[in-house]
Amino acid sequence: MEPTVPRDQLRGRETRQRVIDAATEEFAEYGVAGARINRIADTARASKERIYAWFGDKDSLFGHVMQNGLDTLADAVPIDMDLVDYTVRLHDYFARDESTQRIAVWAWLHDSATAGAFSNDRTLGYSHKLDIIRKAQSEGLADQSWRPEELLALLLAVAANWHRAPAELRVIDPSGFHLDAAAQRDSVRQAARRIVGHPAIDIATVRPIA
């Protein structure tokens, strides 16, 4: 029989999760600079003192939200050596959950301004992705002329293309940005295929990653 969790401890877990959820919404809407702990506390029905005790300052809370988001994304969209399919799956995920992409964009802006002052844990997932890309390149499944970092950055940009395109382009040619979901998805696949530099991969022939 599993031990019963004390009621106070259970309430603490629930409150902590509400803080994370509220912070995720706040950072997605306002970024790090514009986010306010007061609003997070009000939304989460938690005291500012408790938030600071759990997570530290606002930057530390954002780091926690980012890590949580990266872990969730890695679980939902695991990378494998079929890099074209991986890019399409990323596109699908971003289409379903726009807030994830918005937080990522805020993170890129914030982290560039702070010279990447974040925990090493944030880099682990990307290091894993680069290892998979190197393996795909070594097995002839991706163009070896790209540095792995370049290739990953390009594929991430392609996956987010339809969601981050400048509004000016939508005004100049609205028809180009009103493709149905299937057509958008196909354009992502074709762009990724050209960048990866390899024809469609028979996934059955790709050895699984240990």
Q: Where are the domains of the chain?
A: 1-56, 63-205
**Token duo for residue 158:** 């392609």
Mean pLDDT, all residues of the chain: 83
Going by CATH, does the domain composed of 63-205 fall within 1.10.357.10? yes
Is 116 in a helix, a strand, or coil?
coil
Burial (CB count within 10 angstroms: exposed 0-12, middle 13-18, buried 19+), residue 57: exposed
The reported pTM is 0.78
CA angle 139, 72, 151 (to 5 degrees): 35
Among 32-36, 96-100, 136-140, 177-181, the minimum mean pLDDT is found in 177-181
> Contact 194/83 with Cβ under 8 angstroms?
no
Confidence of residue 175 (pLDDT cuts 50, 70, 90): low
CATH topology of domain 1-56: Arc Repressor Mutant, subunit A (1.10.10)
Give me the mean pLDDT over the 74-82 stretch: 93
